[in-house]
Amino acid sequence: MSKNRGPITTWAQYLAARLAAMAMMMFDVETNQHTASQVGRGLYAIDTHHRRRALESIRRAFPEFSDTKVEWVALRSFEHFVTLAAEVCFMPRKLHYETFTQCVAMNKLGRCNELLNARQPVIVLSGHVGNWEVLGSMLGAGGYDLEAIARPIDNPLVNDWLMGIREAKGMHVITKWGATDRMLNTLARGGALAFIADQNAGEKGLFVPFFGRLASTYKSIGLLAMNQNVPIICGYTHRIGPGFHFETGETDVIFPHEWHDQPDPLYYITARYTRAIEAMVQMRPEQYLWMHRRWKSRPRHERLGRPMPTKLHRNLEQLPWMDQAQLDPLLHPQLQS
């Protein structure tokens, strides 16, 4: 829900954002990345609340990391996301049909390229890892019919400005509100729908494994894929050095025939793409948004201190990649606290 704010506040925020962007355009990408990194370090130092949350999440996700490594990943995560915001302003200048391959190195995109080049309807998803804004703009600049699902920003002036940046090179953005018809039309004409798929979905979400702990995940992506019988591409774009240089790749492609024979297709799809996002994070954990509350919601049996329900236990056991070592911490989360 949008926050109520007066016109003075709305305009002040908008002008501040535009002035900051204008100031950045006076310098090259590397200079802005360095400045953004320093701002991220400052936020890490003063924002104790989100720093503690990030450190706790990293420790639970990577128990093998030393304290020094955990702190390094958390600090770099703060730096990364301030840097990401600065890089967004450069996308219209850097990502063109003629030049985007010079900015983004392609890595293991065989199945992805086959589906997109065939103009088959597909779902493309990523997580809050790397620069997902570059991923969408790169596909738009490459001439693909791409519609990205995004929540509108509360400030309408800032929202319209950022929408212009996002859509400058061919990608189109669908706000979450009233989007069903437009999403179905996109798939019907052989287009691609893009989602950021690692948000916490609340107590009514589908709880699937993510770094050894159940995480609430929206059912809508899996239901849409099942209803429309379309494959799901799980892809990422990581920063690979100073300047506007990235690497993009796929960690999984889920085809309809792979879920048709599963005992619970929706659970299988949701767990599998969440596993693919986990693989993206494992590649470069310092480029993940560890300060967001991915594990905020807990399943009812955990909140009540009861054993895991039989259906959930069975769904987990039936995942093809699940073994006892992965299952045990899900069955006994209190031992991991």
Length in residues, the chain: 337
Q: What is the pLDDT of residue 239?
A: 93
Residue found by looking up tokens 């086959």 in the block: 114
300 φ/ψ angles, rounded to the nearest 5 degrees = -55, -40
**Pick from 33-47, 98-112, 187-201, 263-277: least confident:** 98-112
Burial of 5 (0-12, 13-18, 19+ CB in 10 A): middle
Instruction: With a cut of 80, say whether residue 120 has pLDDT above it.
Output: yes
pTM of the model: 0.92
Residue found by looking up tokens 């790397």 in the block: 130
User: What number is the average pLDDT over the span 307-314?
Assistant: 96
Question: CA-CA distance, 258 to 226, in Å (whole number)?
Answer: 11
b/e sequence 35-51, b meaning 16+ C-beta within 10 Å = bbbebbeebbeeeeebb
Q: What is the pLDDT of residue 160?
A: 80
Q: What is the pLDDT of residue 170?
A: 66
**Pick from 239-243, 279-283, 322-326: least confident:** 239-243
Q: What is the pLDDT of residue 91?
A: 81
Instruction: With a cut of 70, say whether residue 122 has pLDDT above it.
Output: yes
pLDDT tens digits along 288-306? 999 999 999 999 999 999 9
Instruction: With a cut of 50, say whether residue 6 has pLDDT above it.
Output: yes
**Pick from 41-50, 141-150, 199-208, 235-244: least confident:** 141-150
User: What number is the average pLDDT over the span 212-217?
Assistant: 96
User: What number is the average pLDDT over the span 245-254?
Assistant: 93
- 305-314 contacts, C-beta under 8 A, 24 or more apart: 312/207, 314/263
192 φ/ψ angles, rounded to the nearest 5 degrees = -115, 140
- The alpha carbon dihedral of 227, 228, 230, 235 has a sign of negative
pLDDT tens digits along 216-229? 999 999 999 999 99
Residues with Cβ within 8 Å of residue 268, at least 6 apart in sequence: 259, 262, 318, 319
Q: What is the pLDDT of residue 5?
A: 66
Instruction: With a cut of 60, say whether residue 3 has pLDDT above it.
Output: no
Residue found by looking up tokens 């209803």 in the block: 227
pLDDT tens digits along 65-96? 999 999 999 999 999 999 998 888 888 787 77
pLDDT tens digits along 12-68? 877 877 787 777 778 888 898 899 999 999 999 999 999 999 999 999 999 999 999
Tokens of 187: 């798939």
Q: What is the pLDDT of residue 1?
A: 41
Question: CA-CA distance, 75 to 72, in Å (whole number)?
Answer: 5
**Amino acid identity for residue 39 in this structure:** V
Q: What is the pLDDT of residue 224?
A: 95
How would you classify the pairing of strands 232-241 and 122-126? parallel
Q: How many beta carbons lie within 10 A of that of residue 2, not counting itself?
A: 10
**Pick from 154-163, 183-192, 237-246: least confident:** 154-163
Whole-number percent of the chain with pLDDT over 70: 95
Q: What is the pLDDT of residue 337?
A: 53
23 φ/ψ angles, rounded to the nearest 5 degrees = -65, -40
Q: What is the pLDDT of residue 2?
A: 46
Whole-number percent of the chain with pLDDT over 90: 59
User: What number is the average pLDDT over the span 226-243?
Assistant: 93
User: What number is the average pLDDT over the span 273-283?
Assistant: 98
Mean per-residue pLDDT over the chain, rounded = 89
pLDDT tens digits along 134-181? 888 888 777 788 888 877 777 778 778 777 777 766 678 887 655 788
Find out whether 105 and 240 touch, Cβ atoms under 8 Å: yes
